[in-house]
Structure 1
């Protein structure tokens, strides 16, 4: 299996990807649901970090530091930076932000690597729905230093139109911030994995294709 196929199977085995009938926050009725909160063990987190590292290496994204937006992005960035070192021999730094700036000790908004101008930074997050994490992260990072944000890596690109535009959140992010968002897999990869028997779910395939046709953003 490719790393993308392995990741889809990993999501299903971990309970992070399920099929059925779900009402999303947007109000849409979807035949699949992604819940990254179901990665709960050390082994799962270590494996998840490897998939992030695979995506970074596969897309040849330049990086010196991984940034994990608080709070969900913190363990993801830590797992990914470890995997980059152990699997790819890349000794990359990491940092994350505090929700409130610390006014004692070393102070500041960030923990970990102290950012510097032109530093190549990748933002690590789970999924992108509205682009809120990126929208909040970019000014925080730029306030610390004039960093070069070379990309954002997420687990799944739903490739789904937002409620008020024909563009997906990933497409809108590039227009708004000039930041390319890379995903380990996208919905088309998941549909193909079902077709190829990598994971169960063929009974939901027709619904997934219909949902993609109705709400999918143009590629």
Structure 2
């Protein structure tokens, strides 16, 4: 889809997507790295919200509330809610969690729309180990809500501890539909059409063969 290519081009231009040698939290050495934290201007977050909105509408998922895991997911949920209203006339509520439990005022660890018995879409940036998503799932289920799906900007499609992708590990526990705006395959396809960047393809393919699902 054109908006997938647009997202890769946008990320590369903003230097959120880089090629080189990067040590990941998992201990793996990766030939590419994505840092959504660099997409931090008003223009950037408007575009990010629109990419998620396009992906959500395209998926035809039924849901009630957007959930943004603290901290990176918070501006994503807000921007996506605005994009759904401005571009699709859908007035969707959002919620997010605190990392620290608040014992005064409104108390609790959730802010925004009450999610009890609601269908929730989780919005996160990248899925590799899935730690943040597992944490969000626990929070949401504890509140008596149902998870409709999980949306991420990038799915690295890497093997998990049981030689399965994180997505499959999640699906073994319960059926969650996880949708990514782009995957490593989309990235490789994009590089094939770019004369300057296609030199990175061999390293990406080698990495995918070693760690990919």
- Shared fold (TM-score greater than 0.5)? yes
Q: Secondary structure at the match of 1:166?
A: coil
Q: Secondary structure at the match of 1:124?
A: strand
Residue matched to 2:172: 175
If the length of structure 1 is used for normalisation, what is the TM-score?
Answer: 0.92
Aligned pairs for 1:93-108 (under 5 A) are 93-108=93-108
Q: Secondary structure at the match of 1:126?
A: strand
Match of 1:207 among 179, 183, 203: 203
Cα pair distance change 1:172/1:200, threshold 3 Å: farther
CA deviation map 1:54-88 (0-9, x unaligned): 11111111121000111111111111111111111
Stretches of 4+ aligned residues off by more than 4 angstroms: none
CA deviation map 1:27-59 (0-9, x unaligned): 322211111111121100110110011111111
Whether contact under 8 Å (2:128, 2:157) holds in the other structure is no
Q: Secondary structure at the match of 1:10?
A: helix
Residue matched to 2:11: 11
CA distance in 1, matches of 2:135, 2:202: 37
Q: Secondary structure at the match of 1:26?
A: coil
Whether contact under 8 Å (2:16, 2:39) holds in the other structure is yes
Cα pair distance change 1:3/1:125, threshold 3 Å: same
Unmatched segments (≥5 aa) in structure 2 = none
C-alpha displacement at 1:170, in angstroms?
Answer: 1.7
- Equivalences, count: 213
Superposed CA RMSD in Å reads: 1.5
Residue matched to 1:136: 135
CA distance in 2, matches of 1:86, 1:212: 38
CA distance in 1, matches of 2:141, 2:36: 28
CA distance in 2, matches of 1:94, 1:123: 10
C-alpha displacement at 1:142, in angstroms?
Answer: 2.0
Whether contact under 8 Å (2:66, 2:92) holds in the other structure is yes
Residue matched to 2:150: 152
C-alpha displacement at 1:200, in angstroms?
Answer: 4.2
Cα pair distance change 1:95/1:21, threshold 3 Å: same
Whether contact under 8 Å (1:127, 1:157) holds in the other structure is yes
If the length of structure 2 is used for normalisation, what is the TM-score?
Answer: 0.94
CA distance in 2, matches of 1:169, 1:13: 29
Unmatched segments (≥5 aa) in structure 1 = none
Residue matched to 1:195: 192
1:186 maps onto 2:183 in alignment: yes
